[in-house]
Structure 1
């Protein structure tokens, strides 16, 4: 296991659990002494530290104005890695759990239309963003939400539904939405966001591949399969603060080498999509394989769970 930083988690208690749709549990987390929780941006992520080294990342689906609670919704995934099953089977009212400080989130725009495209439980970060927009008096958004059957968290979007800003698609009885047609209908000034199953995300990326980064945002739940380069050579990783260093062999990789060094980094998804292992680099350059850092952010930061080095030496601010 990679060593934890001194202040990495906040202790919270489960104050309520409900099941708005079979297979989906909504969990409300509060400080055990009713203190305000660390602030968050719309749709930010938190890591749940579930014990035994099990760490899983979920999007917050309540609005940032609610500084007394975190709300997440978790779909039980039969073919998942065990996190959702653990949550469904073990988290109940009164359970204590450690959560990370919130990170990331969705930067909506006030000057253009925000087009949210969601598949199933992928709607969670957009619920947070929509509720934040509404609280700020902004109605410049639309949500296209597809699901296999009834949507799971519809009660959290009452105002949006009443105003006609939500378009639902039941893919059990109708085709999956045509993302190209949807986005084309809103012209060239909207900002588009997508979160859902891999097929939807791939289709969305194909549609917006030529768009500037400022006009698109993608949220992924499942990391893509890692791609190993046959030309990768051994290099040295140096931890600037702890003064440790080690050779990274291609068949071992950076992450396992950092584990051997007991590096001060958190890891959750292990696939470059959650941001838990975001680390500042000082010398490289790194080979970036994550799916969330912008080109500007990559000039200073790297997701070490999937990264390697293009040179002979990678120095991390650890």
Structure 2
């Protein structure tokens, strides 16, 4: 089951960079939109069979408007092309309420690292860190300067705190230099393509556990499940027991048993199907949880994650 709680209309459309369109959304009835915090995203229900997640990149204090920015990816799965070609000013659509799997945690210092359209969730984080007088810096990479949305505005507004590093001018981001010295009082927030995120993780491997927080647009490659055979899932609220067969997800199995579970991406990136684990040991195959969160085994994302134990008990 997919949640689409808010009816919105496109009120403004701006070309934010080469291949990037920025859309401002307002409530169809003109009322206040649901609140959100930096790092949140919404699901756009573009068609019945086309739901995509985009980060909110505007001002959380502006309850009348939401803003997203979308990179056109002609080789993608169709969502960004639909946004670019079909969503004009005046277009109405349904979206989910905001969800946040990438919240800005309190810290004395922040290092923000963006790759291309990965700048979007970091924009309101930067604004909040700046407003709270935290120390912060931004390292922003992209293919070319013209393709890097909001780069000029950020550099003009914040000066030396912002380092804009287009690849065609500077090469790949010098992550080793920026992450050479670990700092217990600094949190690293990174968003961008998977190769960049992998490079950030490698360059910060010697930092304290939990220092790196990432947001992914595509799922991490995790290989085959550890447990190849079937396992049972007990749905604690009803006492129902279902068997999850190889090749079938927990989400699909409980849906087949008549249980409605909110879901969206079905690839472990959006967080909609977050479920509390009451007993058993999950095999986490999502692209969201931190290492500490995985170790705690308190929650799992049942669209992709499976079980290491013969049985799981879930709060469903």
Instruction: Report the TM-score, using the length of structure 2 for normalisation.
Output: 0.89
113, 128, 144: which one aligns with 1:149: 144
User: How large is the Cα RMSD of the aligned pairs?
Assistant: 2.3
Residue equivalent to 2:217 = 221
1:238-280 per-residue CA deviation (whole Å, 9 max, x = no partner) reads: 3333554421111323233234234322333333222122112
User: Does the aligned pair in 1 maintain the 2:251–2:261 contact within 8 Å?
Assistant: no
Aligned pair count reads 311
Q: CA deviation at 1:291?
A: 2.7
1:79-124 per-residue CA deviation (whole Å, 9 max, x = no partner) reads: 111111111111111111222121113314352x211011111111
Determine whether 1:138 maps to 2:136.
Answer: no
User: Does the aligned pair in 2 maintain the 1:31–1:69 contact within 8 Å?
Assistant: yes
259, 278, 283: which one aligns with 2:279: 283
Question: What SS does the corresponding residue of 1:164 show, helix, strand or coil?
Answer: helix
1:230 to 1:157, Cα distance in 2 relative to 1, 3 A: closer
Residue equivalent to 1:50 = 46
Question: What SS does the corresponding residue of 1:130 show, helix, strand or coil?
Answer: helix
1:312 to 1:83, Cα distance in 2 relative to 1, 3 A: same
Instruction: Report the TM-score, using the length of structure 1 for normalisation.
Output: 0.89
User: Does the aligned pair in 1 maintain the 2:268–2:304 contact within 8 Å?
Assistant: yes
* Separation in structure 1 between the aligned mates of residue 104 and residue 10 of structure 2, nearest angstrom: 28
Q: CA deviation at 1:36?
A: 1.6
1:125 to 1:156, Cα distance in 2 relative to 1, 3 A: farther
Residue equivalent to 2:312 = 314
1:160 to 1:259, Cα distance in 2 relative to 1, 3 A: farther
Residue equivalent to 1:117 = 113
Q: CA deviation at 1:61?
A: 0.7
For 1:300-311, list aligned pairs within 5 A.
Answer: 300-311=298-309
Uncovered stretches (5+) of structure 2, i.e. residues with no partner: none
* Separation in structure 2 between the aligned mates of residue 79 and residue 262 of structure 1, nearest angstrom: 36
Residue equivalent to 2:243 = 247
Q: CA deviation at 1:288?
A: 1.2
Uncovered stretches (5+) of structure 1, i.e. residues with no partner: none
1:36 to 1:158, Cα distance in 2 relative to 1, 3 A: farther
Determine whether 1:107 maps to 2:104.
Answer: yes
* Separation in structure 1 between the aligned mates of residue 197 and residue 224 of structure 2, nearest angstrom: 22
Q: CA deviation at 1:14?
A: 1.1
Q: CA deviation at 1:31?
A: 1.1
